Amino acid sequence: MAGGAAINIFNFNTGGLPKEVLNWRLWMAVFSFGIMGAARGVDEGLINGVFLSKAFQRHVGIDGLDAVGLANVKGTVSSMVQLGSVAGALFAFIVCDKWGRVWATRQLCVLWLIGIGIFMGNNGSLAAVNIGRFIAGIGIGETVVVGPVYLSEIAPAQIRGLCTCIFTGFVYIGIMVAYFANWGTQVTLDDNLTRWALPTSIHLMFAGILLALSFFQEESPRHLIRVGQRDEALRVLCKLRNLPAEHPYIQEEINAIDWSYQEEREATHGMGWKGVLKEIFMVRSNSYRLLLTNVAQIMACFSGGSSMTVYAPDLFEIVGITGREQSLFSTVIFGIVKFVSAVICALFLVDIAGRKRSLIYGIILQAMAMFYIAIFLNIVPVANNEEFEPTPSQSRASTAAIASIYISGAGWALGWNSGQYLLSSELFPLRIRAICSSITMAMHFICQYATNRALPVMLLEDHGLGPHGTFYFFGVITVVGGIWVWLCVPEAAGRSLESIDRLFDLPWYKIGLYGKSFAEEYDRQQAAQAESEKKEMGGAVVYKEDA
């Protein structure tokens, strides 16, 4: 396996990469498409702070609702982007395959801008708020397909984990900027329309930057191969790798991409959409990959990590933070913790320890934090109890519960939130990558919609699980998810996208535990065979898929 991402950055020849490969054009492309992650992050970080503004509640006419009514409206408004994102994720593969990854980016930015424009100009209509968030959600839902797919397709195998995790890093940059905006307006502005409209404009800023950057980027070479433009794919690949077309590294990479796609196409030649569906659902290895990525989304969302991001101010108050300003400031620290954890994951875990270990490390941290918070809330009646006066030992336990929210955020960033994008973007063959990523991310947003819609009600003592029951639920799902990852998820770190198929040549029940060693043994055999053929041909270079 190749060395880790951080090593590859500071030692250009590590892992067999020519030093020219890690050049400014590659990093500019990674930055330009990684910034899509901010779409989801900004919305998750902003919406609860916006909703808690009394001026916003008065503006849309919900300030007179009781606790149950307000919880239901909050759940609907907060989750409307996730509902739109289901449609966006499913729509993304059509645009990606029809127009390409770059034009898909421009189209999603337009939807994102239109939706936020309707939301900000709602004129006091709650219906307009929901419609605007739904339309924006379509564009935001496309980002989680287009961004990771493009990044995985242009990245060298040795640093693909790092490049794809740039997307995750921008999720947390978006969250962090949103949290700062909510806290800053809380501290400096009166509670008027500007209090919620100003932070919401961050959506417009990120969408505009992404749209502008898209006009300076090239299409994915793998997509160009897919649409029959091999010469253009070779030109773009040379530009991204900063190497001439005759360089052995370029020849090996373009031949592997071309050979793999031709093999995929020949398997379903002349069958059109029936062939694509057959390839997804009738080819055992592909159907198992789709099952893997969809179960990963279910486990990730119902572990509570995403919902805690959206409702962070409420959760900090539940475990003992007093005052709206203090709870919003706590979310700022929460955002910083998540961002730093995402950077650590990208630089030192996903390409060194591997995807699977990184996932398990994060899940362990998250599970420990969830169970501590649940036990604390079960013993100490601090949640929703303004009259409660904690003893010194209970105050220390409350501080530990607050710290546990930060730890859960670190675990989420190290584990599920990075792993879910890596799995969906790198496990599938080129021919079905976009459609399978769309199906997977649609499942992500269905689950996220369910958890975000339900959490405000789940936290109610009389109508839900209560705060402690909610965290017990999250903890149990997190543990189940960790066991599932250990048993079922294969390790793909350091492998080219075209060689990942080797992981799925085993029976499904052996892939998670033995796929990595099986694929490495196959690679050794192929390398030995290629070396033998090379000697027989008098030292001539032989290009093979796995040479």
388 touches 382 (CB < 8 A): yes
Long-range contacts of 60-66 (CB under 8 A, 24+ apart): 60/122, 60/124, 60/125, 60/126, 60/129, 61/124, 61/126, 62/126
Pick the closest to residue 382 from 291, 482, 468 (CA basis).
468
Using CB atoms within 10 Å of the CB of residue 253, give its burial: 0 to 12 exposed, 13 to 18 middle, 19+ buried. buried
Q: Return the pLDDT at 481.
A: 92
Pick the closest to residue 174 from 216, 144, 218, 129 (CA basis).
144
Q: Give the Cβ contact number of residue 160 at 10 Å.
A: 27
Pick the closest to residue 179 from 46, 301, 286 (CA basis).
46
80 touches 133 (CB < 8 A): yes
Q: Return the pLDDT at 543.
A: 43
pLDDT tens readout for residues 290-313:
999 999 989 988 998 888 887 888
Give the CA distances from residue 520 to residues 349, 514, 524, in Å, rounded to whole numbers and listed in that order: 20, 10, 6
Q: Return the pLDDT at 15.
A: 57
177 touches 202 (CB < 8 A): yes
Q: Count of H helices and E strands in the chain?
A: 24, 0
Q: Return the pLDDT at 324.
A: 66
Q: Return the pLDDT at 2.
A: 38
* Structure-token pair, residue 482: 């960790």
Please measure the distance between the N-terminal and C-terminal CA atoms of the chain and give it in whole angstroms.
14
Q: Which residues of the chain are modeled with pLDDT < 70?
A: 1-16, 264, 266-273, 323-324, 346, 348-351, 384-386, 494, 497-498, 534, 536-547
Q: How far is CA 157 from the centre of its chain?
A: 19
Q: Return the pLDDT at 236.
A: 94
Q: Return the pLDDT at 8.
A: 45
Cβ neighbours for 373, distance < 8 A, ≥ 6 positions apart: 319, 401, 404, 405, 408, 471
Q: Return the pLDDT at 203.
A: 93
User: What are the residue ranges of helices labelled H in 16-63?
Assistant: 24-34, 37-51, 54-59
Q: Return the pLDDT at 233.
A: 93
70 touches 62 (CB < 8 A): yes
